[in-house]
Amino acid sequence: MADNRQSRRLFVPILFGLAGTPGGVLSLLSPAAGHGWYSGLIGVLSLALAPLSIAAWITCREGGRPTLARAVVVIGILADATVIWATESEGWSYMINMGGMAVIWWALFLSWQVLAVSALTMGQNARAA
Predicted pLDDT at 21: 66
13, 19, 25: which is closest to 55 by C-alpha?
13
HSE value, Cβ hemisphere, 13 Å, CA-based, for 125: 9
Residues contacting 82, CB < 8 A, separation 6+: 38, 39, 42
Predicted pLDDT at 33: 45
115, 117, 112: which is closest to 24 by C-alpha?
112
Q: Report CA torsion sign: 88, 92, 94, 98.
A: positive
What CA–CA distance (Å, rounded) separates 81 from 48? 18
pLDDT digits (tens), the chain, 129 positions: 455 666 566 666 666 666 666 666 666 666 544 455 666 677 677 777 888 888 888 888 888 889 999 999 999 898 888 878 877 777 777 777 777 877 877 787 788 888 889 888 876 665 665
Asked if 111 contacts 19 with a C-beta cutoff of 8 angstroms, the reply is yes
Predicted pLDDT at 32: 45
Q: Which helix (H) or strand (E) holds 84?
A: helix 67-90
Predicted pLDDT at 122: 79
Predicted pLDDT at 73: 92
Predicted pLDDT at 53: 86
Predicted pLDDT at 18: 65
